[in-house]
Amino acid sequence: MASRGGGRGRGRGQLTFNMEAVGIGKGDALPPPTLQPSPLFPPLEFRPVPLPSGEEGEYVLALKQELRGAMRQLPYFIRPAVPKRDVERYSDKYQMSGPMDNAIDWNPDWRRLPRELKIRVRKLQKERTTILLPKRPPKTTEDKEETIQKLETLEKKEEEVTSEEDEEKEEEEEKEEEEEEEYDEEEHEEETDYIMSYFDNGEDFGGDSDDNMDEAIY
Amino acid sequence: MTQAEIKLCSLLLQEHFGEIVEKIGVHLIRTGSQPLRVIAHDTGTSLDQVKKALCVLIQHNLVIYQVHKRGVVEYEAQCSRVLHMLRYPRYIYTAKTLYSDTGELIVEELLLNGKMTMSAVVKKVADRLTETMEDGKTMDYAEVSNTFVRLADTHFVQRCPFVPATENSDPGPPPPAPTLVINEKDMYLVPKLSLIGKGKRRRSSDEDATGEPKAKRPKHIADNKEPIPDDGIYWQANLDRFHQHFRDQGIVSAVANRMDQIFRSLPVGYNISKQVLDQYLTLLADDPLEFVGKSGDSGGGMYVINLHKALGSLATATLESVVQERFGSRCARIFRLVLQKKHLEQKQVEDFAMIPAKEAKDMLYKMLSENFISLQEIPKTPDHAPSRTFYLYTVNILSAARMLLHRCYKSIANLIERRQFETKENKRLLEKSQRVEAIIASMQATGAEEAQLQEIEEMITAPERQQLETLKRNVNKLDASEIQVDETIFLLESYIESTMKRQ
């Protein structure tokens, strides 16, 4: 616009108010312009007040730290899936990491929760029983399900994250055979033939005792 | 929800429940109410993970659900409840001061687990207390029950909403989610239980009469086969009641400080006669703090505690204190002046505070830039010309409190982040020291010699020990600071809430 360039020279530096009222006298040096963001740790002008010490302060502090540690150990702390390591190691089979089949470690009261939140247990356990306890007659399952499960067993590695579609398909197929969520630790182990709790990787000093009498005796 | 609050919620959730719960929780806080599949889709998490996370969040009263039409269940996060997690140590400590160790553990268990049945709490607490007692002694369930009842009577614990017993059998399919109800009179009703038993120690072999095979994990202890007498009746900690207590404490201690000042100017007598008490109360009523007001003269007059004014005074005191610590005592003087006189012109500030003009201006602008003080324009002419307008400095307590609260949230988030950073930096060293401690402990248990223990201890070199010491000191400082800032947060939140209620 024509007036813009022309207006620059006229009345430059005129303000709408009296500058002296603000406190900047004529000829005063103005503070330097700010060219960069303020420093991350500006120097403190005054020392901060000391933190409360004494019995109460110490106790609450200790309590806080204990709580933090305790909550990490509770089953409510959900750890993300361990990323698959580059090479599959033999010891992977023997390390328990997290609950099987996406089930949760604790038992909420399902009567209080929406039904959709309940995670269906995989039907893998049916197959497993045939391996561990050969005395029992092999359960008859539909052929389609067996093949699907066998394929999935072969693919399955450490943790969970089964695809959503698979779960849904399985759920639909198993609608008639809805089971309660059983969590029998002995049988839900990884794809090994051994009871996980028998595995002692030497960290415990003194070791466990093999008291488990549930196992079938040959 | 401001960004600062969301950030803080994220840190708290992550520290207490892990990344997955954090992701879901923060997403819900940001977006509001959403159904399951949308959550999974928007966060890119698998359906199972979302389900797990929601179970945890609901269990801990951080998320609620609602059934909408067509059977869709939507989940909603309670941001303020997440922020209260900062205060868990304070709740537990309060329970300890009021109801000793038993009360402390009851509240701790309820907070750690979100909600529990009374029988479960009693059993767990009895077991924990027994562990700390001398060999051979056990804690009786009855004693724990008594403390529980007292906590319920004083409303520190309350019942959770429950599934109403439906007598009519719904011919259709069951609803996708139960609708939980609770009414006022049931909230503190303790079920009639006769819990008989004593706490059990975990390790001692003589108590292990059940002969559980050691291989089984503790969470499958056979007890869950017994019928639970108060099945379905869950309890949670009543945080509002604790807040009430904190507020009362704050006011009492403020008054106590005031009383000290008054006390010194009066004759001290240990037996306070009625007349003297009357004098005190009058003094308090006249006191500019306006904590106590006199309402009516019937029966010698009723004294009421003006809660809102009390909170306002506490908030103002906090603001003054912050100004003093940040900007110095002269600034604080100016601040108090403006507070007292409500509106002041630039010149008046210089005159009343007796501070040279240049310095006064400098301080005022500093406080202005940080929003402790604001400018009020009063135009003399309708065209609002700046040269013909009064500019008055004033303190708007509500907005200053809000600003300070926001800063507090940021502060705590920074403190937590720094603490996590420090811990992560020294992760290797921490793990090493933990391993060494574990080895020493197990060796001590099997009776090792002094020399061997010495050897193991030397695995950590002196500079490493130094590093660990520094780390511990820093982490303690950061933790203590968090606790301190939370106290300020509580004060400011209470004041703001009280003010908003009156509007």
The predicted-structure confidence for A191-210, as pLDDT tens digits, reads as follows: 556 665 565 566 545 444 44
B217/A52 touch (CB, cutoff 8 Å), yes or no: no
Does the pLDDT of residue A155 top 80, yes or no? no
Put simply, the answer to whether B55 touches A164 (Cβ < 8 Å) is: no
List the one residue out of B394, B330, B336, B386 whose CA is nearest residue B358.
B330
Mean pLDDT comparison of A140-154, B52-66, B432-446, highest-scoring range: B52-66
Q: What is the mean pLDDT of residues B297-301?
A: 52
Q: What is the pLDDT of residue B203?
A: 55
pLDDT at residue B302 greater than cutoff 70: no
Of B54 and B304, the structure prediction assigns the larger pLDDT to B54
Q: Which one-letter DSSP state was computed for residue B162? A: B
Per-residue pLDDT at B4: 92
Query: Looking at the predicted structure, is the pLDDT value of residue B434 above 50?
Result: yes
**Angle separating helix axes B88-113 and B118-132, nearest 10 degrees:** 120
pLDDT of residue B131: 84
**How much is the pLDDT for B221?**
38
Alpha carbons B119 and B109: distance in angstroms, whole number: 12
pLDDT confidence tier of residue B491, bands split at 50, 70 and 90: very high
Tell me the average pLDDT across B266-272.
46
Q: Which residues contact B117 (CB under 8 A, 6 or more apart)?
A: B228, B230, B231, B232, B233, B234, B235
Q: Can you give the pLDDT at residue B455? A: 79
User: What mean pLDDT is predicted for residues A128-139?
Assistant: 43
pLDDT of amino acid B288 = 53
Distances (CA, A) of B27 to A168, B23, B50: 24, 6, 11
Residue of B nearest to A70 (CA): B112
Q: Which CA distances in Å does B455 have to B221, B443, B464?
A: 40, 12, 16
> What average pLDDT does the segment B449-468 reach?
82
Residue B274 scores a pLDDT above 60: no
Contact A116 B92 (CB under 8 A): no
d(CA B18, CA B53): 9
Helix and strand tally (H, E) in chain B? 18, 11
Which chain B residue's Cα is nearest to A168?
B47
A21–chain B nearest CA distance, Å: 9
**Would you state the pLDDT for residue B107?**
94
Backbone angle region of A180, left / alpha / beta, with phi > 0 → left and psi within -120 to 50 → alpha: beta
Query: What is the structure's pLDDT at B90?
Result: 93
Check residues A128 and B87 and name the one with the higher pLDDT: B87
> Does residue B100 carry a pLDDT above 50?
yes
Distances (CA, A) of B422 to B16, B44, B436: 18, 30, 21
Q: Is the pLDDT of residue A139 over 60?
A: no
Q: What is the pLDDT of residue A131?
A: 43
Mutation choice for B interface testing from A78, A163, A175 by most B CBs within 10 A: A78
Instruction: Work out whether strand B73-77 and strand B343-345 pair parallel, antiparallel, or are unpaired.
Output: unpaired
B214 vs A contacts (CB less than 8 Å): 208-209, 211
Q: Per-residue pLDDT averaged across A16-20, rounded?
A: 62
Return the higher-pLDDT residue of B277 and B154: B154
**Of A42-46, B290-294, B435-439, which gets the smallest average pLDDT?**
B290-294
- Our CA-based measurement puts residue A84 at a distance from the nearest CA of chain B, in whole angstroms, of 17
Distance from CA of B240 to the nearest CA of A (A): 20
- Asked whether the predicted pLDDT for residue B239 surpasses 80, the reply is yes
Given a cut of 80, whether residue B378 has pLDDT beyond it is yes
The answer to whether B215 contacts A195, with C-beta atoms less than 8 Å apart, is yes
Contact A21 B65 (CB under 8 A): no
Q: Do A63 and B89 touch (CB under 8 A)?
A: yes
Region class of A87: left (phi > 0), else alpha (psi between -120 and 50), else beta: beta
Minimum CA–CA partner of A165 in chain B: B47
The C-alpha of B150 sits at a distance from chain A's nearest C-alpha, in angstroms, of 23
CB distance B89–A52 less than 8 Å? no
pLDDT of residue B60: 92
For residue B361, give the nearest of B325, B336, B330 by alpha carbon: B330
Residues of B in contact with A21 (CB under 8 A): 346, 387
Q: What pLDDT sits at residue B293? A: 58
A16 CB neighbours in chain B (<8 A) are 385-387
Task: Decide if pLDDT at B419 tops 90.
Answer: yes
Q: What pLDDT shows up at residue B390?
A: 82
- Whole-number average pLDDT of chain B: 81
Task: Find the CB nearest B217 among A76, A185, A205.
Answer: A185
User: What span, in angstroms and rounded, lies between the C-alpha atoms of A60 and A37?
Assistant: 38
| Interface predicted TM-score (ipTM) | 0.79
CB-CB: which of A51, A162, A209 is closest to B214?
A209
Per CB-CB distance under 8 Å, the chain A contacts of B484 are 51-52
Size of interface A-B (CB pairs under 8 A): 178
* pLDDT given for residue B230 in this prediction: 72
Return the pLDDT at B289: 52
Q: Which residues contact B500 (CB under 8 A, 6 or more apart)?
A: none
Q: What percent of chain B has pLDDT over 70?
A: 82
Alpha-carbon distance of B238 to B111, in angstroms, equals 10
B224-245 mean pLDDT = 79
Indicate the Cα dihedral angle B10, B15, B20, B24, nearest 10°.
-30
Looking at per-residue pLDDT, the higher value among A116 and A69 belongs to A69
Chain B CB contacts of A78 under 8 Å are: 17-18, 20-21, 49, 52-53, 56
Minimal Cβ distance to B46: which of A76, A77, A161: A161
**Residue in A76, A111, A213 closest to B59 by CB:** A76
Q: What is the mean pLDDT of residues A120-128?
A: 51
Cα distance between residue B156 and residue B91, in whole Å: 10
What the block records as the tokens of B44 is 């890119």
Chain A: give the shortest CA distance to residue B481, in Å: 7
Reported confidence tier of residue B31, pLDDT bands at 50, 70, 90: very high
Ranked by mean pLDDT, the top range of A46-60, A74-88, A91-105, B462-476 is B462-476
Q: In this predicted model, what pLDDT tens digit does every residue of B36-47 receive, in sequence order?
A: 889 999 988 888
Look at A168-182, B315-329, B398-412, B482-496 and tell me which has the smallest mean pLDDT.
A168-182
pLDDT in tens, B303-356: 566 778 888 888 999 999 999 988 888 899 999 999 888 888 888 888 888 888
- Report CA torsion sign: B228, B233, B234, B239: negative
Report residue B187's pLDDT band, with 50, 70 and 90 as the boundaries: confident
Q: Can you give the pLDDT at residue A184?
A: 44
Q: In sequence order, what E strands does B258-342 have?
A: 292-295, 302-305
